[in-house]
Structure formats: C-alpha cells, structure tokens
Amino acid sequence: DVEPQLKTLEDLKVSVTELTLEEKLAHNITSNSYVFDFDNATVGVSTGKGGRTVAANARNFPALINHGVAMTVGYIGPCGLNLPHFHPRASGILYVVHGKFEIGFYQENSAKFITNIVKKGQATVFPKGAVHYEQNLGCEPAQFVAAYNNEDPGTLTVINSLKQVSANIVSASLGDIPDNEFEALLKRLPVNPALGVDECLIRCGLKSAGRKKSVARSVKK
C-alpha cells in the first residue's frame, strides 16, 4: 500500500459526480480502489507494545472521499491500551469483535466522565471531539472496529500534544516541573497502542507485583 499523492487526492475531492470520482479512482489509483485490507495494511498503521491500530480514511483509502465515512480496526494485545485520544471532526461508534474492553470518554470541562465495560457483540458511541480510550481487560488479544461520520476524522493522541507544545508551557501546566523531569517524562511516553494498567498486567503475568511496589516507592521518594 502506498498513500496517493496530495495532488491526486485533491483532484478526486473536486469530482463533479460519483461516476467522475469512480473513473478517476480506476485511472489514477488501481483496479481494486474500493478494497482496503486491514489485516495486511502498511499505511494508516500504528504499532506499539499494546497492539496495533489500522485506520482507513480519505488519505490512504481515496474511495471514501465525499462519502463521509471512515473506519479504524484495533488489534489490541493482552492488557493493551489504545491511549486517550480524540477525533476533532467526527463522532464514532465502536463495536467489539472479540474480547472485553474498558472504555471511557470525557466530552468537555465540567462534564461527567463516562466509562463502561463493552463486551463481544456490544457497541458504544463517542461524541465528536470527546477524549476517549479503550483498554483490553483480558489476557488474550481483543479486537474492535470503530466507524466515523467523516472521511477525514483526524486523530490526536493526548500525550502527543506534550511533544508539540513548548516545554515551558507544558512544565507550567503540570505544576512547574523541573526541566530534567520534563525531559525524562517525554522519553517515557509510549507509542500507541501501549501496555495498560498494572492490575491487568500483574493479573496476566506481564508484570510482577514486586516491580509495581518498587516503582511506587521510587515515585514516593
């Protein structure tokens, strides 16, 4: 898979009719322009210690252009965590294919934090712009499918903003932490999806209880 050039995408976007778009896709992309292979994708992929997510949107699946839909499939490992993030241009509905997820979202200041356990065969919704996450609670791989009402939903993982905002602003926002602690924090930020909470990691044998206690003592000191 290779993402189409921006010029090609812009040309598709201004198609006069759906038939014009179809003709351009067949001519400029490939004969299978209407098929996206999530299992074998090499574009739209994020891989971390907690699993892999694959996103199909207007940039890497041009057949979605002008159709107002997009999709992400999460292949989340044992205790894997799809880090808190939000989609600035779309609401989403998430369906659990197999496994069990703790799922939560926070829509805006002063709103109530909503959290639920969503199991195989169940679905939940995320309002547009709400910060949300998915945590695999099991010791086996789990999978979800999330659909969006915009072909370009956008994704911003919350911790990624720490890398983009100037260090002094982030430091002040976190209680004026020293520069050396801020740099250490940035180095520890995981790639998405990450490993999740200690309770799950210890229960599934992915982390020792002793390691948890030593970390806690270190933080306390």
How does pLDDT run across 121-148, given as a tens digit for each residue?
A: 999 999 999 999 999 999 999 999 999 9
Listed in sequence order, the DSSP H helices in the chain are 6-13, 18-28, 158-164, 167-173, 179-188, 198-203, 209-220
- Residue 185, pLDDT > 90, answer no
pTM: 0.86
Q: Pick the residue with more confidence: 3 or 188?
A: 188
pLDDT of residue 166: 85
- The yes-or-no verdict on residue 161 having pLDDT over 60 is yes
The class of domain 21-155+195-204 in CATH terms is mainly beta
Where are the chain's structural domains? 21-155+195-204
pLDDT of residue 26: 84
The predicted structure's pLDDT at residue 220:
37
Phi/psi of residue 147, each to 5°?
-115, 150
d(CA 192, CA 122): 24
Q: Average the pLDDT over each of 89-93, 107-111, 168-172, 205-209 and give the range with the smallest value.
A: 168-172
Cα–Cα distance measured from residue 162 to residue 186, given in angstroms and rounded to the nearest whole number: 8
Instruction: Give me the pLDDT at residue 182, please.
Output: 81
* Residue 1 · residue 60 · CB < 8 Å: yes
Residue 216 has pLDDT above 90, yes or no: no
More confident residue, 139 or 221: 139
Q: Which of 101, 67, 107 is nearest to 87 (CA)?
A: 107
Distance in angstroms (rounded) separating the CA atoms of residues 83 and 103: 11
